[in-house]
Structure 1
Amino acid sequence: MTVVAYDVGVPMADGVLLRADVYRPSSGPGPFPVLLVRTPYGKQDPTILGVLDPLRATRAGFIVAIQDVRGRFASSGSWSPVINERSDGRDSARWAAGLPGSNGRVGTYGPSYLGQVQVANDSPLVAASVISYTWSNPADGLVARGGAAEVGLVTNWSLRLALDYLRRSGLSDAEVVRALDHFDADPLSAAKVLAALEMPVVAAVPPFGPPQRPLLIIAGWYDVFLQGSLDIYHRSDTASLIVGPWSHNNHTAQVGNRNAGLKADEGRLDLFGRQLDFLRDPPRRPEAQVFLTGVDEWRTYEKWPPPSRPHLFPVAGAFGFGPGDPVPTHGGNLLISPGFPPGPLDQARVESRPDVLVITGEPLTSDLEVQGRVTASIRATGSADLVVRLCDVDPDGVSLNLTDGIFRANGEAQREVDLWSIGHVFRAGHRIRVQITWSSFPRWDIVAHAKGPITIHPGSAVTLPNIG
Structure 2
Amino acid sequence: MVKIIKHTASMQTRDGVRLDADIYSPDTKEKLPILLMRQPYGREIASTVVYAHPRWYAAQGYIVVIQDVRGRGTSEGNFDLFSYEIEDGFDTIAWVSKLPNSNGKVGMYGFSYQGMTQLYAAVHQPEALVAIAPAMVAYDLYTDWAYENGAFCLHASLAWAIQLAGETARLKEDEATYLELYKASCNLPVNDLIPANPELMQKLAPDSFYHHWLNNPHPDAEYWQKRSPKYLLENIDLPMLHVGGWFDPYLRGTLNLYRTMAAKSKYSQHLLVGAWAHLPWGRKLGRIDYGIEAQNPIDEIQIRWFDYFLKGIDTGLLEESPISLFEMGSNKWREFDSLPQSDRVYYLASDGLASIREDSGMLWQYEEPGDGDAISPRELLETDLAEQMTEFDNNIDIIVRDPWRPVMALGGHATYPGGSFDRSALDSRSDILTYTSAPIASDLHIAGTVNLAVYCSVEKPSFDLCAVLSVVQPDGKVFNFTQGYITVNSTSQEIQAVNIPLQDTCMCLAAGNSLRLSISADCFPAYPVNPGTGKLPFETRLMEREIITIAIHSGADYPSQIKLTTVNKNNSYL
Same fold by TM (over 0.5)?
yes
Q: 1:179 to 1:420 in 2, by over 3 A?
A: closer
What is the CA–CA distance in structure 2 between the aligned matches of 1:156 and 1:398, rounded to whole Å?
30
Which stretch shows the higher mean deviation, 75-84 or 57-66?
75-84
Aligned residues: 457
One-letter amino acid of the counterpart of residue 465, structure 1: T
What amino acid is aligned across from residue 488 of structure 2 in structure 1? Answer: A
The 1-side partners of 2:173 and 2:64 are apart by: 33
Say yes or no: does 1:314 pair with 2:348. yes
> What's the CA shift for 1:46?
6.9
**Counterpart in the other structure of 1:150:** 153
Q: Aligned residue for 2:388?
A: none
Structure 1 position 308, deviation (Å) = 6.1
Deviation at 1:179, TM superposition (A): 4.8
Q: Does 1:355 align with 2:382?
A: no
Post-superposition offset of 1:14: 2.2
Counterpart residue type for residue 401 of structure 2: F
Q: CA deviation at 1:151?
A: 0.9
Are 1:224 and 1:333, in contact at CA under 8 Å, matched by a contact in 2? yes
> 1:227 maps to what in 2?
252
Identity of aligned residues (%): 27
**Most deviating of 62-71 and 279-288:** 279-288
Distance in 1 between residues matched to 2:50 and 2:511, nearest whole Å? 41
1:277 maps to 304
Please state how far the C-alpha of 1:102 moved relative to its aligned partner: 0.5
Name the structure 1 match of 2:499. Answer: 416
Greater per-residue strand proportion: 1
Other-structure match for 1:127: 130
State the shift of 1:404 in Å: 1.0
Cα contact 1:16–1:77 (8 A) shared by 2: yes
1:298 to 2:338 alignment? no
Matches within 5 A, 1:166-245: 166-168=169-171, 170=172, 172-182=174-184, 184-188=186-190, 189=192, 191-197=198-204, 198-201=206-209, 203=213, 205-206=224-225, 207-209=228-230, 211-237=236-262, 238-245=268-275
Q: Which moved more, 1:128-137 or 1:148-157?
A: 128-137
1:465 matched to 2:565: yes
Alpha-carbon RMSD: 2.1
In the alignment, residue 277 of structure 1 is paired with which amino acid? R
2:115 touches 2:135 (CA, 8 Å); kept in 1?
yes
For residues 391-450 of structure 1, the C-alpha deviation after alignment (integer angstroms, 9 at most, x for no partner) is 111122211111111111212632111112011122222111111101101110112235
Which range moved further: 351-360 or 75-84? 75-84
CA distance in structure 1 between the aligned counterparts of 2:239 and 2:258, rounded to whole angstroms: 11
Deviation at 1:265, TM superposition (A): 1.1
Q: TM-score scaled by structure 2?
A: 0.76
Specify the alignment match of 1:446 in structure 2. 529
Aligned equivalents of 2:46, 2:308: Cα separation in 1: 28
Which amino acid is 2:519 matched to? I
Measure the CA separation in 2 of the matches of 1:212 and 1:62.
Answer: 23
**Stretch moving more, 117-126 or 195-204:** 195-204
3-state SS of paired residue (1:193): helix
Distance, in Å, in 2 between the alignment partners of 1:179 and 1:240 is 39
Q: Once the 2 structures are TM-superposed, how far is the Cα of residue 141 of structure 1 from its aligned partner?
A: 4.0
Larger Rg: 2
Q: Distance in 2 between matches of 1:179 and 1:323?
A: 27
- Compared CA separation, residues 3 and 442, structure 1 to 2 (3 A): same
Deviation at 1:345, TM superposition (A): 0.4
The TM-score, its normalising length taken from structure 1, stands at 0.92
Residues 377 and 460 of structure 1 are in contact (CA less than 8 Å); yes or no, is this contact kept in structure 2? yes
Residues 14-33 of structure 1 aligned to structure 2 (within 5 Å)? 14-27=15-28, 29-33=29-33
Q: Distance in 1 between matches of 2:49 and 2:454?
A: 46
Q: CA offset at residue 93 of structure 1?
A: 1.0
* CA distance in structure 2 between the aligned counterparts of 1:444 and 1:154, rounded to whole angstroms: 10
The 3-state SS of whatever aligns with 1:440 is coil
Unaligned runs of 5+ in 1: none
Could you report, residue by residue, the CA deviation over 1:295-351 in whole angstroms, capped at 9, with x for unpaired residues?
A: 21111122333x663323325622212111111010101454xxxx21010012320
- The secondary structure found in structure 2 opposite 1:453 is strand
Matched, 1:93 2:93: yes
